[in-house]
């Protein structure tokens, strides 16, 4: 059986640095930070008081007010990104076979804010018996993002949500890619969403000592590959990539951003929250992705790293890249867009895949911001090009995106320039 080719024909994004793909991309290239003091709740007693929130988004520009109230914030963001992506793709939904269009989204946590509100109310009113909102469960469950998108558009193809913590939406794109190349669908609305900037989200990650506590300087807190990095910055948002079978895209005259050519998955099998110090799972996942794409390490010009700004994570990923790419590790560009967006958890893979697609399309690499010359980690090799502080124009024939999740889940996706 011959595998079909898969291309990207539409993009959608709601991120801490922009409420659509164009604005997000412009601000990523400009090196703009999305970090600021938290506005979603009172942070008075919290160790971390800042995050990367989505800003100035009017949900009711996209969703009916009454319907929006039935959705947790992560699903609202998921649907908005999907609406943007479908619109951008130019799909003629009146004439498409909707039985051949599916939705696969990645969500790491799901409706944690809804859970927090409902359980908090019950805890305070236990003597009255169980009184829960009838939408409590359907608002909270992670799969509802994919479900709501399919209901909105009437898409009857494969429909589910992938959960692998911070690798969730890379896994969603990998599954979407495989479904199309195996002939199970013509189009998949792929992506991811997360909205965990709430008391239990921030408090829970603080308890793990995972978040930066640089409360006096939020904009410069996310500093991947710098010696003074002290944890990740929580982000929220959603990303969407419309993946489409090549011949189907050509037949309708679709614009093509890039071709998706490979995916890889692996497990560290090491620790629930820490990556393997020697990057064993990271090496394995990149090799798996390159093999799947039929590419050599020298074919990759840009790696959008997981790069969360944690001590062990950044170091082990850099070690893995050197091991997999050898001498070519010094010729390619590496950057962490999390230095600007923060860590979007379940949505990270989708937003970072979009950054790879646009990098391939436009031959420019977004930067890793917040690095200072006197802030070098002696354990890191700065002969590697981390694209510090300023976007770099260069030919980007192909780009690889890494995502590594709590639990030791690793997923990697590869995009290259589309050619006939």
Question: For this structure, is 343 an active site residue?
Answer: yes
Q: What are phi and psi of 328, to 5 degrees?
A: -65, -20
Which one of the listed residues 52, 166, 240, 356 is annotated catalytic? 166
Q: Tally helices (H) and strands (E) across the chain.
A: 13, 14
Cβ atoms 275, 316 nearer than 8 A: yes
Q: Give me the DSSP letters along 194-260.
A: E---SHHHHHHHHHTT-B---TT-GGGT--TTSTT---B-BB-EEEEEEEEEHHHHHHTT----EEE
Question: For this structure, is 209 an active site residue?
Answer: no
**Nearest CA-CA partner of 264 in 382, 124, 369, 404:** 404
- The answer for 381, left when phi > 0, alpha when psi is -120 to 50, beta otherwise, is beta
Which one of the listed residues 220, 248, 276, 306 is annotated catalytic? 306
Question: For this structure, is 371 an active site residue?
Answer: no
Residue partners of 265: CB distance under 8 A and separation at least 6: 171, 174, 285, 288, 409, 410, 411, 412
- CA-CA distances (angstroms) from residue 390 to 27, 234, 273, 330, 370? 12, 23, 31, 18, 10
Which one of the listed residues 248, 343, 371, 409 is annotated catalytic? 343
Annotated catalytic residues are 166, 306, 343
């Amino acid at each position: 059986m011959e595998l079909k080719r898969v291309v990207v024909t539409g993009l959608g994004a709601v991120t801490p640095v922009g409420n659509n793909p164009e604005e997000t991309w412009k601000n990523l290239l400009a090196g703009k930070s999305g970090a600021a003091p938290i506005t979603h709740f009172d942070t008075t007693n919290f160790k971390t008081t800042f995050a990367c929130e989505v800003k100035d988004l009017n949900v009711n520009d996209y969703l009916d007010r009454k319907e929006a109230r039935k959705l947790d914030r992560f699903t609202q963001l998921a649907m908005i990104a999907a609406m943007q992506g479908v619109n951008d793709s130019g799909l003629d939904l009146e004439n498409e076979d909707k039985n051949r269009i599916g939705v696969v989204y990645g969500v790491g946590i799901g409706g944690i804010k809804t859970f927090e509100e409902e359980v908090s109310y019950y805890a305070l009113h236990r003597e009255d018996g169980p009184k829960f909102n009838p939408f409590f469960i359907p608002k909270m469950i992670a799969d509802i993002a994919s479900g709501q998108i399919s209901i909105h558009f009437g898409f009857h193809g494969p429909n589910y949500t992938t959960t692998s913590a911070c690798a969730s939406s890379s896994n969603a794109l990998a599954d979407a890619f495989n479904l199309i190349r195996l002939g199970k669908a013509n189009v998949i609305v792929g992506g991811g969403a997360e909205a965990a900037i709430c008391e239990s989200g921030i408090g829970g990650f603080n308890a793990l000592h995972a978040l930066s506590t640089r409360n006096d300087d939020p904009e410069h807190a996310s500093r991947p590959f710098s010696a003074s990095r002290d944890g990740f910055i929580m982000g929220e948002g959603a990303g969407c990539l419309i993946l489409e079978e090549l011949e189907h895209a050509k037949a309708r005259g679709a614009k093509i951003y890039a071709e998706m050519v490979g995916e890889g998955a692996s497990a560290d099998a090491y620790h629930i929250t820490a990556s393997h110090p020697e990057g064993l799972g990271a090496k394995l996942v990149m090799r798996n992705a390159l093999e799947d794409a039929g590419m050599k390490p020298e074919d990759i010009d840009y790696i959008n790293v997981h790069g969360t700004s944690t001590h062990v994570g950044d170091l082990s990923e850099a070690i893995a890249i050197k091991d997999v790419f050898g001498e070519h590790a010094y010729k390619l560009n590496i950057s962490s867009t999390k230095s600007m967006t923060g860590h979007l958890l379940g949505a990270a893979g989708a937003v970072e895949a979009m950054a790879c697609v646009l990098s391939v399309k436009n031959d420019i690499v977004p930067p890793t911001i917040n690095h200072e010359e006197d802030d070098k980690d002696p354990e890191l090799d700065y002969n590697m090009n981390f694209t510090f502080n300023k976007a770099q124009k260069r030919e980007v024939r192909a780009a690889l995106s890494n995502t590594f999740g709590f639990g030791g889940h690793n997923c990697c996706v590869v995009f290259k320039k589309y050619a006939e």
